[in-house]
Structure 1
Amino acid sequence: MSGASGVDHLTDRHPSVTPERLVAGLVPPPTFADVSFDSYRPDQSEPSQTDAVQSCRAFCEQAVQRRAGKKKLFGKREVLSGVGVYLDGGFGVGKTHLLASSYYALAAADAGPAAFATFGELTQLAGVFGFVECIELLSDYVVVCIDEFELDDPGNTTLISRLLSALVERGVSIAATSNTLPEQLGEGRFAAQDFLREINTLANIFTTVRIEGPDYRHRDLPPAPVPPSDDEVRAEAADVAGATLDDFDALCSHLATMHPSRYHALIEGVTEVFITGVHPLDDQSVALRLVSLTDRLYDAGIPVVASGTKLDTVFSDEMLDGGFRKKYLRATSRLLALTAAGGH
């Protein structure tokens, strides 16, 4: 739907996501549609990046072997437990590139279907299908790749711990990325000590691979630029086919009307996102929804042009000092990269 300016608005979109669409969406996002281990370019000054490629290749080989099982008498095969790899590191060191490369390598190995989902999408999948049904749905997969592994509340901690444990027992291997070591998941966000058993179960599934290095998105990039004016944003949006134009507060309010798993559908078909009146946030719930939208925009490679405050000041110092610090820093990094792609 177009407004008076003739430009579409995200706030006019009310997407729905069917179970079938959720399953069909278990693939890497468009930004990582053509990646491979060979296309990963490790920083030669960071040996851990080259080591990580080898670790992921070895993981894929083990995952195929575990999925095939162990041959027993009379031609039957014993189900072997899956293996796990956990890519830990800062922002922009290529973790998602390697995760998607693992997905493609295993999908091509003909050992079973492969799944790729963000942590939020995986919890939504379990919510839509039910816990037992979700296990049945994924139990024949060779691998489940989980990007942006986060544990934001006790319910998710218990749910994902039990889900992954059940899948591993059935021969499914698990690959994940995060900015937090498995045994530190949940720190600073809730009473993690009350859920140590679940967190330790998750940690025991994975072999942790640490990837060091600077954020590649910021290589040769200047600091956050001075934003354009509201009028400049509106004028530019009117000249871009497939663009959307929204007021920041109105967009943040609209995001609250739907589950973050729908944000992917919300931006489907959009070529560029224009936002007016950006300002620092003081509500954690609003900020976390903006993080989710930013992740989906980044996955889809959709440029952003925004007026108002600089995008590296949207999340307050108080928020950055809290338990979601890494989420906010990742979102800031991605927003700046998308803004650079938008030409501002």
Structure 2
Amino acid sequence: MLLVAYEQAVASNKIKEDARQLAALNVLQEIYDGLIKPSSFWFSKNKVKGAYLYGAVGTGKTFLLDLFYNNLPIKKKMRSHFYQFMQTIHERLKFLQGQKNPLKLIAKELAKQATVICFDEFFVNNIVDAMLLGNLLQALYQQNITFIATSNALPDELYKGGLQRDRFIPAIDLIKVNNTVIQVDSGIDYRLGKADYDRAYFYPQDPEMWDLLFSKFKALALPPIEFAQKIVVDDRFIETTYQTCNAIWFDFNKLCGIPRSQTDYLILSKQFDYVFLSGVHHLLEYENDLISNFIKLIDVFYDISTKLIILASVPINDIYRQGRHQFEFERTKSRLFEMQSESYLLSKKKNFIKNK
């Protein structure tokens, strides 16, 4: 079933056939078969071992995840970007504050909604999630939930160098025991060949390019256009350059220059179809807020298919070249290239979490 869908995608030139992808597809097919196999009258269905797909950016991990999810003929399934899932978990923990074993309660709630959960971009970069994840995964696995996850890192590389990482090791062990770990990495970023670079990324930042960007804003925005307003996002004001009901324009420093969470960018994604960003420049290592927030912004916008139009002083490859965020930023650059492509710009905005 999955192989047929994969071959159809190859035949229609949506993807190129790749040996590593086909190997991963065989494992996903086994999981697929286990999930759709009916349980007997006397015995409940056994837990089906999941899969952890890792590799460099643009090597087809998310494509395989979506191929599996979209072709799986069961209702109790969920697909989410990992940071969105963790955001939901934190919200539920806040709601259940004071109750005994809240993670077990959350796991039972999720088990009613899904027997399989697909995570895109499994990544841990803060101590709060790291300390939470072991107990959360344990509770979810006890509910016989199957996971399919994509990541840029091996399980053993997750949260590497993080505070109190020794307390995160049990979570890594759970991932390795309950999932088949598969490398999906041919060394080729298939997304880079699809980009049409002049559609939504403008540089250098000079008067001519500013005029082009403003013309694009006027073409996409529904009137009236408001100038130099403020928008409230999660109880905080952000200054805007221009704003309409469906499009908004920010200065890079105003949107990314102070600490922000993914929730801020999720709210913007939900409210606006088009986000314009001017003032993007070559980022230096000390500009930590700008770097980390830009990574978050691109992750959110890419996953939901929010259309981002950028005016920058440098090409995409020169935004951030080296430093401690380089590993994460490789994903950001690859996504920025794809976000200029016609297929991305014509795609419909996605739901935050798919649940059927």
Residues 29-68 of structure 1 correspond to what in structure 2 (within 5 A)? 37=6, 39-41=8-10, 43-44=16-17, 46-65=18-37
Superposed CA RMSD in Å reads 2.8
Question: Is 2:169 the partner of 1:201?
Answer: no
Give the distance between the partners of 2:137 and 2:71, measured in 1 at CA.
21
1:316 is displaced (CA, Å) by 4.5
SS of the residue corresponding to residue 317 of structure 1 reads coil
Would the aligned equivalents of 1:142 and 1:171 in 2 still touch at CA under 8 Å? yes
Residue of structure 2 aligned with 1:174, choices 140, 147, 172: 147
CA distance in structure 2 between the aligned counterparts of 1:79 and 1:262, rounded to whole angstroms: 40
Letter in 1 for 2:105: E
Distance in 1 separating the partners of 2:19 and 2:307: 32
Structure 1 residues 238 and 221 mapped into 2: Cα distance closer, same or farther (>3 Å)? closer
Partners of 1:265 and 1:220 in 2: CA distance: 29
Contact 2:203/2:312 (CA < 8 Å) preserved in 1? Answer: no
When residues 274 and 88 of structure 1 are mapped into structure 2, their CA distance, relative to the original with a 3 A threshold, is same
* 1:269 positional shift: 5.5
Residues 111-122 of structure 1: pairs in structure 2 closer than 5 A: 113-122=76-85
Once the two structures are superposed, the pairs formed by residues 142-153 of structure 1 within 5 Å of their partners are 142-153=115-126
- The one-letter code sitting in structure 1 at the alignment partner of 2:22 is T
Aligned residues of 1:298 and 1:334 also touching (Cα < 8 A): yes
Change (3 A) 1:227 1:59: farther
What is the Cα deviation at residue 248 of structure 1? 1.0
Q: Note the C-alpha offset of 1:287.
A: 1.9
Structure 1: gaps of 5 or more residues: 1-35
Deviations 1:20-45 (A, max 9, x none): xxxxxxxxxxxxxxxx645543534x
Sequence identity percentage: 22
Give the direction of change, closer, same or farther, for the CA distance of 1:100–1:155 in structure 2 (3 Å limit): same
Conservation of the 8 A alpha-carbon contact between 2:137 and 2:174: no
**In structure 2, what is the Cα distance between the partners aligned to 1:114 and 1:90?**
26
Higher mean alpha-carbon deviation, 83-92 vs 235-244, is at 235-244
Among 94, 109, 113, the alignment partner of 2:74 is 109
Task: Tell me if structure 2 keeps the 8 A contact 1:63–1:82.
Answer: yes
CA contact (8 A) 2:253 2:290 kept: no
Give 2:263's aligned residue. 261
Map Cα deviations across residues 166-222 of structure 1 (whole Å, 9 max, x no partner).
222222100000010112211134453443233222222210121123111112658
CA distance in 2, matches of 1:64, 1:297: 33
Deviation at 1:230, TM superposition (A): 2.8
Q: Which amino acid aligns with 1:338?
A: M
Q: Which amino acid aligns with 1:288?
A: S
Q: 2:107 aligns with which of 124, 128, 135?
A: 135
Deviation at 1:138, TM superposition (A): 0.9
Partner of 2:88: 125
Please report how far the alpha carbon of residue 134 of structure 1 lies from its aligned counterpart in structure 2 after TM superposition.
1.9
Q: Secondary structure at the match of 2:270?
A: coil
Matches of 1:252 and 1:209, distance apart in 2? 35
> 2:298 corresponds to which residue?
294
Shift of 1:64: 3.5
Structure 2: how far apart are the matches of 1:232 and 1:222?
A: 17
Question: In the TM superposition, what are the counterparts of 1:147-166 in structure 2 within 5 Å?
Answer: 147-166=120-139
Aligned residues: 292
Counterpart code for 1:59: I
Q: Is 1:40–1:97's contact at 8 Å kept on the other side of the alignment? A: no
| DSSP-derived class of the 1:244 partner | strand
User: Alignment partner of 1:188: what SS?
Assistant: coil
Change (3 A) 1:164 1:64: farther
Residue 57 (structure 2) pairs with residue 91 (structure 1): yes
**Residues 1:327 and 2:324 aligned together:** no
Q: 1:104 to 1:339 in 2, by over 3 A?
A: closer
Q: What displacement does 1:312 show?
A: 2.4
Superposition pairs of residues 235-274 of structure 1, within 5 angstroms: 235-241=215-221, 242-253=246-257, 256=259, 259-268=261-270, 270-274=272-276
- Unpaired segments ≥5 residues, structure 2: 94-102, 222-245, 347-356
1:309 aligns with 2:281: no
SS in 2 for 1:87: strand
